[in-house]
Amino acid sequence: MAEGLRRRRAASVRALIESLRPRQWVKNGFVFAALIFSRNLTDRRAAVTTALAALVFCAVASAAYLLNDVLDAEEDRQHPLKRLRPVASGRLAPGTAVVAASLLALTGLVTAWRLDHRFFLVAASYAALNALYSSLLKHVMLLDVFVVAAGFVLRVLGGGVVIHVEISSWLIVCTTLLALFIALSKRRHELVLLGEDASDHRASLAEYSPYFLDQLISIVTASTVMSYALYTLSADVRLKFPGKRLELTVPFVLFGIFRYLYLVHQREGGGSPTRLLFTDRVLLSVVLLWAVSVVLIIYL
């Protein structure tokens, strides 16, 4: 009997960890953007502070995932992939998920307050935005993808606020467009995967069509590449990084976006951007090459 109890507890812990979506934490890498582009990567104090800020976003994001799983349990059971999630499949009790979400959100926000009061406002805004998204905004066509993009922008802003660095407007624009590109690609994947049953899972999907989403993706794709290219050639870059050829990183951005489009349209991927990143070696290699090249160009 005791052995059975231990097994059930172990299974609950595994289910809870799975619900935290640790793979999704890679999105919080956007918090480090301000640290890198402000040339503070070698500043130990700034680096540690940014790392703690990223952990805050990990905690708050995981709390949001748990809340979302509880609210969407019934809809998830009708989804071919999401029905396997711990709450939807019954492996994790909704009450346990709510308690864990509350503790994570509280811990994250208290830590944010201790790091910097302005950073706390950013983290609290991120938490509130996620709560609104889970309960209401994800059901509103177009607004749903803009809310996702806003979450990425808040990560970037938080990374700047916590180390007292001003965020470039170019960085905000590029982040917004890239996040919209990813969010729209995800909506397209959901629409194609679920077919006629798409609206049963998410009401906003009834307002989308593959053609409409393809048009939006085309616009955002061109805008993302153009914005990043213009940023690398801007007066802002010449002033901050005199003599640095940041435009040499544009081909990596182009190739990465082309590869992502290939995976979305030809391989029917895009449902989980982080899964694509970790499972597609070509995409992962391009992202790493871009990151390394940016650091080398800026710091050497």
CB-count exposure of residue 2 (10 Å: 0-12, 13-18, 19+): exposed
Of 79-88, 132-141, 254-263, the least confident: 79-88
Cα 71 vs. chain centroid, distance in angstroms?
20
| pLDDT attached to residue 38 | 92
pLDDT at 201 over 80: no
Q: Does domain 8-167 have CATH number 1.10.357.140?
A: yes
Nearest to 88, CA basis, from 19, 134, 25, 139: 19
- The CA distance from 150 to 185, in Å, is 16
pLDDT in tens, 108-121: 999 999 999 999 99
pLDDT at 161 over 70: yes
What's at 126, amino acid-wise?
A: Y
Compute the CA torsion angle 144, 190, 176, 30 (nearest 10 deg): 110
Confidence of residue 33 (pLDDT cuts 50, 70, 90): very high
- The CA distance from 248 to 259, in Å, is 18
Residues 142, 147, 152, 154: is their CA dihedral positive or negative?
positive
pLDDT at 6 over 80: no
Residues 4, 10, 16, 21: is their CA dihedral positive or negative?
negative
| pLDDT attached to residue 225 | 96
| pLDDT attached to residue 73 | 83
Of 13-17, 28-32, 81-85, 124-128, the least confident: 81-85
Residues 235, 236, 240, 241: is their CA dihedral positive or negative?
negative
- The CA distance from 229 to 246, in Å, is 9
- The CA distance from 189 to 273, in Å, is 11
Contact call for residues 137 and 147 (beta carbons, < 8 A): yes
Mean pLDDT of 87-106: 91
pLDDT at 4 over 80: no
Other residues' Cβ atoms within 10 Å of the Cβ of residue 95:
9
Mean pLDDT of 30-47: 95
What's at 275, amino acid-wise?
A: R
Q: What is the mean pLDDT of the chain?
A: 91
* Concatenated DSSP letters of 170-210: HHHHHHHHHHHHHHHHHHHHHHHHHGGGHHHH-GGGGG--H
Mean pLDDT of 30-50: 95
pLDDT in tens, 169-184: 999 999 999 999 999 9
Mean pLDDT of 192-211: 76
In which element (H, E) is residue 213 found?
Answer: helix 210-232
Confidence of residue 218 (pLDDT cuts 50, 70, 90): very high
Nearest to 178, CA basis, from 273, 279, 55, 65: 273
Sorted by where each begins, the domain ranges of the chain are: 8-167, 168-300
| pLDDT attached to residue 84 | 83
| pLDDT attached to residue 280 | 94
Confidence of residue 200 (pLDDT cuts 50, 70, 90): low
The residues near 74 (Cβ < 8 Å, ≥ 6 apart) are none
| pLDDT attached to residue 25 | 94
